[in-house]
Amino acid sequence: MPTKYPMPIQEAVRDLLMDLVGRGVAVSKGEPPELEDDTVAVVADYVTDDDAVGVVCLVDLPLAAAVGGALTMVPAAVVNESVRKNRFEEEMLLENYGEVANIMTRLFNSADTPHLRWRSTYVLPTELPADVKALSEKPSARRCFDVTVEGYGDGKLVLMVG
């Protein structure tokens, strides 16, 4: 089924993340993460100018912390501690990931599609807004990636397009 928005390929995701964090990033096709009731993950939503959700991005805690840490060179030990404790040890890691999520909008906008902008991030486990939950449960397309950030670790990224 065709989608309204481009579905980024792994090279596009890799190049964007590598440019942002200024270090090596490897991206390969992967399987979706297994989310338990207590799993910490971050969901970002991207909306049109009319606030309709067009894309949802889910990253697990290890990847959100790794990218957030690498963005401002937070010590890898802080990232590792967040993963070990299953929570963001430093609020800055989550804030930094929000900046990355905002810039990831470039992956979904094209001259032929409605404009999308990053709206928000939600830290799971939490109740998602109904429109975000609906797109997450029945996307037109879904792509899963395994991502490694040099010196910071690896995790899962899932893109869901309406």
> Tens digits of per-residue pLDDT, 1-49?
456 888 999 999 999 999 999 999 999 999 988 888 888 999 999 999 9
Decide if 4 is inside a domain.
Answer: no
Contact indicator for 146, 13 with CB cutoff of 8 Å: no
Map tokens 């309204």 to a residue.
4
CA–CA distance, 128 with 88 (Å, rounded to integer): 19
Decide if 152 is inside a domain.
Answer: yes
Structural domain count of the chain: 1
Decide if 5 is inside a domain.
Answer: no
pLDDT of res. 1: 46
Question: CB count, 10 Å around CB of 86?
Answer: 11
Decide if 1 is inside a domain.
Answer: no
Q: What angle do CA 22, 27, 31 make, to 5 degrees?
A: 145
Residue 72 has pLDDT above 80, yes or no: yes
CA–CA distance, 18 with 149 (Å, rounded to integer): 8
Range of the domain at 141: 10-161
pTM for the whole structure: 0.94
Q: Give the three-state DSSP class for 151.
A: coil
Decide if 77 is inside a domain.
Answer: yes
pLDDT of res. 3: 67
CATH of the domain at 83: 3.40.1550.10
